[in-house]
Amino acid sequence: MLRTHHCNELNLQHLNQKVTLAAWVKTLRDKGKIIFVDIRDKFGITQLRAEEGKSPPEVIETMRKLGREFVVQVTGTVIERASKNPDLPTGEIEIEVEHIQILNPSKVPPFLIEDETDGGEDLRMRYRYLDLRRNTIRKNLELRHRIAQATRHYLDSQGFIEVETPMLIKSTPEGARDFLVPSRMNLGEFYALPQSPQTFKQLLMVSGFDRYFQIVKCFRDEDLRADRQPEFTQIDCEMSFVTQEDVLQMFEGLIRYLFQQIKGLELPAFPRMRYDDAMRLYGSDKPDTRFGMPFVELNELVKGKGFQVFDSAELVVGICAKGCAEYTRKQLDELTEFVKRPQIGAKGLVYVKCNADGTFKSSVDKFYTETDLQQWATKMQAEKGDLLLILSGETNKVRKQLCELRLEMGNRLGLRDKNQYSCLWIIDFPLLEYNEEDKRFYAMHHPFTSPKPEDLPLLDNESEYANIKANAYDMVINGVEVGGGSIRIYQRPLQEKMLSILGFSPEEAKAQFGFLMEAFEFGAPPHGGIAFGFDRLCSLFGGADTIRDFIAFPKNNAGRDVMINSPAPISQAQLDELGIRLVNKKA
Ligand code: ASP
């Protein structure tokens, strides 16, 4: 080794020992006669010291040549420091340098390599290897490593085996576009990168593997939304001979184990919420349940009093914000502006202040009496001092809008504490989802998800499609969908029927999924599984909003890696070899 110790190791117990350290220069302080240099490695910081007249002249000379991020190797003696730093494990000692060698100089780094950096996102991504030298980012990746290790430990202990599935496959629909890879050996044909290993893990169940998992890269060519990565990692799992209940137990176990191991937290059992209830009470299939503020529907109380907006609305629904009756005009205007933003799209916001003196003040006083408002307040379980916020319109839209407003109020009231965790299962998802634009049904989870057995007859009646429930479930933590899965179809006739409902002709179904359906004819066991978004899970454990800082080399919001500059054009020769002619070449 080029060192005897690392930079977080030495203390008063090592006094007078001769040591060798190798690390990066963090800070330099030239006090004239005495020079102090802090060196840093991934373990910590150690202070070096050299003094004119005392240290060898070549040491002084080299110390004066150093710059930030130079890599040095130093030999010296551990001595007690005059002014100690109680915040550092090495804060009581320093190294009296006897020999120093510059192993590699460094250009001036483009940003500060400190916990608080002055580097903007772009610069940090361009020099990601320097960004990763920062403690905060490196710690995120250490956390990621620990979560991966704990996951493997838990799943291994439960009899799961990790199996790698191929990356060059053909389309597995998870609702996004595929990334395609041209095949040189089969001109004009393409592989797809897996959106998930879904079909392969099901085939492993047909093979009798019983319990499979994989921490695996998945690829989805989606329009980029904030904090989405075109390639991301899943904890992908599948089990044979299980019911939904078995899967929920097993993976609630995994997440509780991770919280225990990583955060030292014992979580209570995860509540279950039906999809329909989640939509009705929170307007979302991933409600943030760190706080209450459930929706209260007001249709029967508000209609027929001459207020046209409510009279014509399909749904009038509100939330009660505790202790907010004192909101000023300005604050209420802000909330109105918030819901009117194009991304949210509400036409307006009705408020009712439940004043401390028992009176009410609302934005619809013209239409409603104090008695009316009192009824609303009672229904919404409001107390004196509370503020009712009410939206109206088409059911699905208004629920989405109120969901945003509820989260905003949660933020404003400080109810979304990053160090508090509220986990739950959303169950009983619809099997199919109607798309207004395409005028057809899509699988809400994916085409391999099994309908609830009792709903099977509804598959024969198109008008009932929207009412079919699936054995599909999501795990939600703090308003984030961290995982989702389902019990699968495992019989060919049902899979064929499902694909036909989804608009596949028998030929298309056979061409795309013939291999899976054929496998179902060779003794496929009942099976089901789940996949967790691993990057998201890591950011949640790390108390961060963004997944990017938990991925070593992420892509930016435009799907680019600005460090290696990818994607990039390829040469004409490569294109020719692949038989590809570009029609819309970028200028
Ligand atoms: N393959 C699914 C997904 O990526 C998860 C599953 O159904 O197990 O969401």
Strand ranges for 185-338 from DSSP E: 190-192, 211-219, 231-240, 272-274, 296-297, 315-321
- Which of 446, 473, 536 has most ligand 1 atoms within 8 Å of CB, for mutation? 446
**In sequence order, what are the beta bridge partners of 34?**
51
What is the 254 CA–ligand 1 centroid distance (Å)?
17
Ligand 1 atom nearest 201 alpha carbon: 8
What is the 427 CA–ligand 1 centroid distance (Å)?
15
Ligand 1 atom nearest 236 alpha carbon: 8
CA dist list (Å): 445 to 20, 384, 450: 58, 44, 10
Radius of gyration of the chain (CA): 30
Residue 227: its pLDDT value, please?
78
Ligand 1 atom nearest 486 alpha carbon: 7
Ligand 1 atom nearest 529 alpha carbon: 8
Map 101-169 to HEC letters.
EEEECCCCCCCCCCCCCCCCHHHHHHCHHHHCCCHHHHHHHHHHHHHHHHHHHHHHHCCCEECCCCCCE
Alpha helices in 367-448 (DSSP H): 370-379, 395-412
DSSP for residue 49:
E
Three-state DSSP class for residue 199: helix
What is the 78 CA–ligand 1 centroid distance (Å)?
56
What is the 172 CA–ligand 1 centroid distance (Å)?
10
Residue 225: its pLDDT value, please?
75
What is the 544 CA–ligand 1 centroid distance (Å)?
24
- Which of 198, 204, 215 has most ligand 1 atoms within 8 Å of CB, for mutation? 198
Token pair recorded at residue 435: 């798309």
Three-state DSSP class for residue 80: strand
What is the 418 CA–ligand 1 centroid distance (Å)?
27
DSSP for residue 469:
B
What is the 453 CA–ligand 1 centroid distance (Å)?
20
What's the CATH fold of domain 12-104?
Answer: OB fold (Dihydrolipoamide Acetyltransferase, E2P) (2.40.50)
Residue 545: its pLDDT value, please?
84
pTM: 0.94
Q: What angle do CA 263, 264, 270 make, to 5 degrees?
A: 85
User: How many Cα atoms within 13 Å fall on the side-chain side of residue 582?
Assistant: 11
Ligand 1 atom nearest 472 alpha carbon: 7
In this structure, the residue with its CA closest to atom 7 of ligand 1 is: 485
**If 0-12 CB within 10 Å is exposed, 13-18 middle and 19+ buried, where does residue 133 land?**
middle
In this structure, the residue with its CA closest to atom 3 of ligand 1 is: 531
- Which of 178, 196, 445 has most ligand 1 atoms within 8 Å of CB, for mutation? 196
Ligand 1 atom nearest 197 alpha carbon: 1
What is the 61 CA–ligand 1 centroid distance (Å)?
61
CB 296 within 8 A of CB 320: yes
Pocket around ligand 1: residues whose beta carbon is below 6 Å from it?
174, 196, 198, 484-486, 529-531
Residue 585: its pLDDT value, please?
63
Ligand 1 atom nearest 218 alpha carbon: 4
Q: How far apart are CA 323 and CA 385, in angstroms?
A: 5
What is the 526 CA–ligand 1 centroid distance (Å)?
16
Ligand 1 atom nearest 448 alpha carbon: 7
What is the 467 CA–ligand 1 centroid distance (Å)?
22
Q: What is the pLDDT of residues 295-323, one digit of tens each?
A: 999 999 999 999 999 999 999 999 999 99
- Indicate the domain borders of the chain: 12-104, 138-273+423-572, 291-412
Q: How far apart are CA 435 and CA 404, in angstroms?
A: 22
Please choose, from the candidates 232, 214, 133, the residue with its C-alpha nearest in 3D space to the C-alpha of residue 174: 232
Chosen CATH of 138-273+423-572 out of 1.10.30.50, 1.10.10.2120, 3.30.930.10, 3.40.50.10470:
3.30.930.10
Residue 584: its pLDDT value, please?
74
What is the 530 CA–ligand 1 centroid distance (Å)?
6
Ligand 1 atom nearest 238 alpha carbon: 8
**In sequence order, what are the beta bridge partners of 240?**
527
What is the 439 CA–ligand 1 centroid distance (Å)?
25
Ligand 1 atom nearest 449 alpha carbon: 7
What is the 269 CA–ligand 1 centroid distance (Å)?
23
In this structure, the residue with its CA closest to atom 4 of ligand 1 is: 196
- Residues 6+ away with beta carbon under 8 Å from 316: 297, 298, 299, 302, 303, 310, 390, 391, 392
What's the CATH fold of domain 291-412?
Answer: Gyrase A; domain 2 (3.30.1360)
For the chain, residues with pLDDT lower than 50 are 587
Residue 171: its pLDDT value, please?
77
Domains 12-104 and 291-412 share a fold: no
In this structure, the residue with its CA closest to atom 8 of ligand 1 is: 530
